[in-house]
Structure 1
Amino acid sequence: MHDPNHNPWKTLSSAEKYDNPWINVTQYEVINPSGNPGIYGKVHFKNLAIGVIPLDEDMNTYLVGQYRYPLNAYSWEIPEGGGPLGVDALESAKRELLEETGLKASEWTEVQRMHLSNSVSDELAIIYLARNLEQFEAEPEETEQLVIKKVTFEEAYLMVLNGEITDSMSVAGILRVKLMLT
């Protein structure tokens, strides 16, 4: 009988290969599940991935457009960013929403927790729905050149279906909220 809690991997040794304020990369010498020696690389994220789907009383949402350096491409996505480990994720979500869109919300619902790339990383994402919005001034970070686009939630949903939104947190969050609303 299969025990889902049994780890079939055996770690022989580990060596840190890279470290910066956001990630740590470790290489492991392992015995894999079939009993053969091998290596495994793991990217450890030093922040939570935080996403917010702001939804106003008219069923509009706000997308953030920005050039994503690792993809070498422009991306439309929900407001998102990093939340330090050990800091309440909801507080990080509130900060990200204000920072990127200038919005504050009085009603918050956690809608999704997900691992973003469980084959090579331990990054955990938490996505919130933010309602009862109030507009203030955005406070983007120096690394962010953002365009904010207000669209109907239905338009954002269609952008996911049409492949115009490909960011995994945005796709999962928008689909989850669509299910919640129907």
Structure 2
Amino acid sequence: MSDDRALEELARSSDRLREEPLTSEPVFRGKLLDVRRDTVRLPGGATATREYIMHPGASMIVPLLPDGQVVLVRQYRYPMHRAFIEFPAGKIDPGEAPLATAQRELLEETGYRASKWTELTTIHNAIAYANERIVLFLAEGLERGEQKLDEHEFLEVFTAPLEDLMTWIRQGEVTDVKTVIGAFFVSSSTR
């Protein structure tokens, strides 16, 4: 069976797994997150509770310099109580296209602009409890400018060879899932 036919068959059979929403209620609504609690009917007829986070989505950028180095940011992530090395990324604003978000976030966080943009893929990083999607982009033809950080945004910008980033991932020093996926995606396509 071809890959396309296999995917079509999987899509058709997924209807048998569908959970039908019966009720939905807000639990918490903040600046970024909307926590919901739904009652659903399971495929076998029983009901269950599903708690999940609604998120507007985000874009992440792999800024690749001509010499093979990547532009990275280091910022403190409060839920984990430490600083992380990441690729630049940010929330998609209402009505904003993912590419526009990527372009805006690259400039704001790093000061770089790119002349060439390639959409790599879309990932869903927490499918068990959030509807967040992150659209990954490769940014090339970089030109350095001035950072335009938000008022309460603090981060460090630095460059590193892609090979070093891959080593940090293997050593467990870089664990941010979107950064790991972006690094592997670009590393496999530049070989």
TM over 0.5: yes
Q: Please report how far the alpha carbon of residue 116 of structure 1 lies from its aligned counterpart in structure 2 after TM superposition.
A: 1.2
1:12-50 deviations in Å (ceiling 9; x for gaps): 21111111232211101223344333210121012x211
Alignment partners' CA distance in 2, 1:70 and 1:33: 35
| Aligned mate of 1:20, from 14, 30, 50 | 30
1:18-167 paired onto structure 2 within 5 Å: 18-46=28-56, 48-167=57-176
- The total of aligned residue pairs comes to 181
Letter in 1 for 2:73: V
Alignment partners' CA distance in 1, 2:20 and 2:118: 39
| Aligned mate of 1:5, from 2, 15, 23 | 15
> 4+ runs of 1 displaced by more than 6 Å?
none
| Aligned mate of 2:179, from 163, 167, 170 | 170
Q: Please report how far the alpha carbon of residue 146 of structure 1 lies from its aligned counterpart in structure 2 after TM superposition.
A: 0.5
| TM-score normalized with structure 1 length | 0.93
Letter in 1 for 2:45: G
Alignment partners' CA distance in 2, 1:96 and 1:119: 27
Write 1 or 2 for the structure with the bigger share of helix.
2
Q: Cα RMSD between the aligned structures?
A: 1.6
Letter in 2 for 1:130: A
Identity %: 30
What stretches of structure 2 of length at least 5 have no aligned partner?
A: 1-8
Q: Please report how far the alpha carbon of residue 85 of structure 1 lies from its aligned counterpart in structure 2 after TM superposition.
A: 4.0
Alignment partners' CA distance in 2, 1:145 and 1:58: 27
- SS of equivalent to 1:170: helix
| TM-score normalized with structure 2 length | 0.88
Alignment partners' CA distance in 2, 1:111 and 1:172: 10
Letter in 2 for 1:15: E
**Which stretch of structure 1 is more off in the superposition, 14-23 or 95-104?**
14-23
1:78-98 deviations in Å (ceiling 9; x for gaps): 011111243111111011001
Write 1 or 2 for the structure with the bigger share of strand.
1
